[in-house]
Amino acid sequence: MIELRNPTEIEQMRPAGLFVAEVLTALTEAADVGVNLLELDGLAHRMIKERGAESCYIDYHPSFGAMPFGKVLCTSVNDAVLHGLPHDYRLRDGDLLSVDFACSVDGWVADSAVSLVVGTPRPEDLALIEVTERALVAAIGQATVGNRLGDVSHAIGEVARAAGLGINLQFGGHGVGRTMHGDPHVPNDGRPGRGLRLEPGLVIAIEPWFLATTDRIYTDADGWTLRSADGSRGAHSEHTVAITSDGPLVLTARS
């Protein structure tokens, strides 16, 4: 079911968006060569406690999960691109790290992700990250009243294709509200002018993610982490966006 939020509710969602942005900023500043993924998870966990927020991930236990997730963020390194389960791993020079974080503040959820390179970047990794960020900006630009969901999805696909990247449609964006995953599903490719008509009050997470040389993924033995089929690296960019009569409002914008 698609739920629309009134302007008061959109205002109530702002603190969650700001907090998620604050945590991701702290994580991008903390992520460095030699830093353990468990330390990043610990930092986010402390910030959640101090804020009185609630993790969306720690008890997350969908049908495909072997057990509850148990951590408060997803840390996907190199050939891992989504749902990376934080584990005892120290970041190495040149690692491409994607961090995905969602939590609930005052009963409202925000969800956002960012990719970065620690230490010395490879140009191709910076280029891959730039494409996901550009696809996200393009999609947000289409998240306007009167457009259709296909316009948002198509904007992502168009950027990927122009960059010569494949698109995997198994995972995409989603409605965000009282819970992390609601309707509608927001695919990372689609046909312009098709699908749900966008109305004021629709709040969606838009999340392009791409792999350098494949569109196929597999699940790691940890039961969660999704890796590229060919070992190539992945990147992921995500914002929670409210569609308003004044245009798209990026609730998780980082200053």
From the number of C-beta atoms within 10 Å of its C-beta (0-12, 13-18, 19+), residue 29 rates as exposed
Residue 65 or 192: which CB sits closer to Mg ion? 65
Residue 149 or 180: which CB sits closer to Mg ion? 180
User: Minimum distance between the CB of residue 231 and Mg ion, rounded to whole angstroms?
Assistant: 24
Q: Does 125 bind Mg ion (CB under 5 A)?
A: no
Residue 165 or 205: which CB sits closer to Mg ion? 205
Q: What's the length of the chain?
A: 255
User: Minimum distance between the CB of residue 123 and Mg ion, rounded to whole angstroms?
Assistant: 27
Q: Does 136 bind Mg ion (CB under 5 A)?
A: no
Residue 48 or 113: which CB sits closer to Mg ion? 113
Q: Write out the DSSP string of 28-81.
A: HHH--TT-BHHHHHHHHHHHHHHHT-EESSTT---TT-SS---SSSEEEETTEE
Alpha-carbon distance of 105 to 179, in angstroms, equals 11
Stretch that binds Mg ion, among 7-15, 44-52, 110-118, 167-175 (CB under 5 A): 110-118
User: Minimum distance between the CB of residue 207 and Mg ion, rounded to whole angstroms?
Assistant: 6
Residue 22 or 200: which CB sits closer to Mg ion? 22
Q: Does 111 bind Mg ion (CB under 5 A)?
A: yes
Q: Does 224 bind Mg ion (CB under 5 A)?
A: no
| HSE, side-chain direction, 13 A CA sphere, residue 175 | 18
Cis peptide before 187 (omega within 30 of 0): no
Q: Does 206 bind Mg ion (CB under 5 A)?
A: no
Size of the site for Mg ion (CB under 5 A): 4
User: Minimum distance between the CB of residue 199 and Mg ion, rounded to whole angstroms?
Assistant: 23
DSSP annotation of 192: T
* Rounded alpha-carbon distances, angstroms, from residue 73 to 32, 60, 76, 101, 140: 17, 11, 10, 5, 24
Q: Across-strand partners of 77? A: 97
The alpha-helical segments, DSSP class H, found in 163-198 are none
Q: Does 100 bind Mg ion (CB under 5 A)?
A: yes
Q: Does 79 bind Mg ion (CB under 5 A)?
A: no
Contacts with Mg ion, residue ranges (CB under 5 A): 100, 111, 113, 238
